[in-house]
Structure 1
Amino acid sequence: MATVHTIAIFAVPGVQLLDVAGPLDVFAEANAQLGKEHYRPLVAGMSAAPIRSSSGARLLPDITIREETDAAIHTLLVAGAPHAPDLDPSSALRRWLTERARRARRYGSICSGAFLLAGCGLLDGRRITTHWSVASRLAEAFPMVEVDADAIYVADGKVRTAAGVTAGLDLALSLVTEDLGREVALRVASQLVMYFKRPGGQMQFSRRGEAMPAGRSALQELQRWVATHLTEDHSVPRLAERMQLSPRHFARLFRTEVGSTPAAWVEAIRVSAARDRLDSGQCAPKQVAADCGFSNVDHLRRAFMQHVGVTPAEYRKRHAAFATDA
């Protein structure tokens, strides 16, 4: 008799519904492709009460942390929730997650569910990922955890973690690949109309860290002027001259009050402007480079790869479609 793998996704009240439903559909489709039950997906909850998601839809848990059961969980995943970073796991939940993770073949999280595992010490010494918007917060709160803020999903030992929301599908598909091979996973991806391997990382979707005016009012005025005159010379000597300061004093003041060098800030604001133009789908990378103050398209490409993680051409191809459809 073939072994059935129990996949348990733990969900707290307020869970992001797609963190649960997305992976469950991937495992269900794998069963459909095989024509038999290889996975037994379950939803785990704090109690038997319906779990109200952040969207208002309700989930009925199949198992709870209060149940005494010897049923083996092959894979344990913790789904995220908008308030997950602020949750303090109860002693009962800590015991359940720790024991189940220890006994599972693999365990992990989707989106901000990583905070619950980290709060139990289950991610210490591991490389993991989470939603880009809370990655730095997790890294600060749990210094023993290595956080990759750009990865879509990460496998480290028996730990599997996914970035935000839809990345749960990518993680589930990677688990199907581990268990059943590439061909089955390709069929699942085809049926669900999803990438087999999503190109680029999650930072291409992030707008966090974009250059914004900061510091004293005179510096903010300068930054606003730069943002509206992207093609001009924004070297330190020229910007210092505009502020009527020496280049050395200006550079030191800018770094202290803005938190980056003038050159890094100027590059970031140019990349931000380039993203806006590429989002429209109306401009090719070469024209965008000229409009945003890059010396050539290769300069734009290098800066874009550093800040966004994909090339301008790749970004335009994927993101302009959303603007066109909207």
Structure 2
Amino acid sequence: MNELQVTKHSKLVVIVAFPNLPLLEIAGPGDVFYQASKVLHEKVGIENAYKVIVVAADRSNEVVTRSGIAVSCPLKIEDINQPIDTLLVAGYTFNNPVIERSDLYQWLSQIYPKVRRIGSICVGTFALAKAGLLSNKNVTTHWEKGDKLHDDFPDILVNSSQLFIKDGNIYTSGGVSSATDLSLALVEEDYGREIAVSVARHLVLYLKRPGFQNQFADLLPEPELGNSVLGRIQSWMISNLNKDLSVEQLAAQSNMSPRNFARVFLKETGLTPAKFVEKFRVEMARKLLEESDLNIEQIAEKTGLVSLVSMRRIFLRNLMVTPSDYRRSFKTTKNEVGV
């Protein structure tokens, strides 16, 4: 059995990794904690401030990531003979028969009172939920899985707009890259802002990344077009974005009464016509912000968001970011790389 080389100053960080997870969910925290140890040694003289080990959720000797890169796991869960400071669950494999038959969730439940803090990366939130650790807790997960988490565990308070959330000593993070956001926050919590800033600067990261997961999510549900009300009018809506898209106009285009149109539209899409139109315009506007060279005022006019002031207000309401900040984050890089 491999012994853990830790000192009295070491904080042992254990990452429980599920098969087929993105490599960044392991590499991101690993690099943050390694760099924090390096900075602390140089600035404060602390040796081996963090020790990171990865153990496989299925107790195998390696974790094969989604990209095919295998990460060696010389230790198994039961081999850990040192107190765990921070436990992070990375990834989650839905309906994995090997893990479902194991005692992983029982182990998580039993180890929780013994660790200083426990957290999840991306859909790792599901593992903590299955272990019974998240009842009545405020949590986040990847924006695509927020609704499923809420449906599967209705006693959990899910807010999938956030990059990460702390509730007591439980930390949950959103999408894959938020693993680094969470890890930097943990370093700052342990050793202060100056150390965390030094780590972020070296790794060329934001200490606190601007924005929310909303920026990455689709605002509208996947439409079932065909002979649906939306299917009959969507092309017309795209061609008339800068015109009146009131319920009356949409109903007339559908040859329906406004009242019946609103009722059927809500049933088919889950949104009122007014709310759908607002989100539809935002989706069209952000596509133009990403791909076109139109200025923001021209995009506001073209998509029916009227003006810079109105567009900014609507973007903040739906994406929690301004149009200019959205463009800086997501505009195509083709020109920059010479494509």
Q: TM-score range by the shorter chain?
A: over 0.9
Correspondent of 1:54 among 66, 71, 74: 66
Deviation at 1:122, TM superposition (A): 1.2
The AA in structure 2 aligned to 1:236 is V
Instruction: Please state whether the residue corresponding to 1:63 is helix, strand or coil.
Output: coil
Tell me the matched-pair count: 323
**Counterparts of residues 136-155 of structure 1 (less than 5 Å):** 136-155=147-166
**Which of 293, 308, 312 is the matching residue for 2:304?**
293
Residues 1:178 and 1:62: Cα distance change in structure 2 (over 3 Å): farther
Deviates more, 1:163-172 or 1:206-215: 206-215
Q: Which residue of 1 aligns with 2:3?
A: none
Task: Summarize the Cα distance change of 1:62–1:284 in structure 2 as closer, same or farther, 3 Å threshold.
Answer: farther
**What is the rounded CA distance, in whole Å, between the counterparts of 2:170 and 2:252 in structure 1?**
53
Write the distance in 2 (CA, Å) between the matches of 1:56 and 1:180: 35
State the Cα distance separating 1:299 from its structure 2 match.
Answer: 1.8
Query: 1:145-294 maps to which residues of 2 (within 5 A)?
Result: 145-207=156-218, 209=220, 212=223, 214=225, 216-280=227-291, 282-294=293-305
Distance change (3 Å), C-alpha of 1:30 and 1:219: closer
Q: Which aligned runs of 4 or more in structure 1 are off by greater than 3 angstroms?
A: 85-91, 210-219, 321-326
In structure 2, the partner of 1:306 is: 317
- Inter-CA distance 205–293: structure 2 relative to 1 (3 Å threshold): same
Query: 1:7: which partner in 2?
Result: 13
One-letter amino acid of the counterpart of residue 265, structure 1: F
Q: What root-mean-square deviation, in Å, do the aligned CA atoms of Structure 1 and Structure 2 show?
A: 1.9
2:54 maps to which of 20, 27, 43: 43
Mapped to 2, the partners of 1:129 and 1:219 lie a distance apart of 31
Q: Is the CA contact 1:279–1:323 (under 8 Å) kept in the aligned structure 2?
A: no
Alpha-carbon offset, residue 62 of structure 1: 4.0
In structure 2, the residue matched to 1:31 is 37
**Equivalent in the alignment of 1:19:** 25
* Unmatched 5+ stretches in structure 1: none
CA 1:15–1:237 in 2, change beyond 3 Å: closer, same or farther?
Answer: closer
Deviation at 1:239, TM superposition (A): 1.8
Mapped partners of 1:227, 1:86: distance in 2? 40
- TM-score normalized with structure 2 length: 0.89
Are the aligned partners of 2:61 and 2:75 in contact in 1 as well (CA < 8 Å)? no
Distance in 1 (CA, whole Å) between partners of 2:167 and 2:300 is: 39
Distance of aligned partners of 1:224 and 1:234 in 2 relative to their CA distance in 1, 3 Å threshold: same
- Structure 1 length normalisation: TM-score? 0.93
| 1:60-99 equivalent positions in 2, closer than 5 A | 60-67=72-79, 69-81=80-92, 84-87=93-96, 89-99=100-110
Identity percentage of aligned residues: 37
Deviation at 1:208, TM superposition (A): 5.4
Secondary structure of 2:331's partner? helix
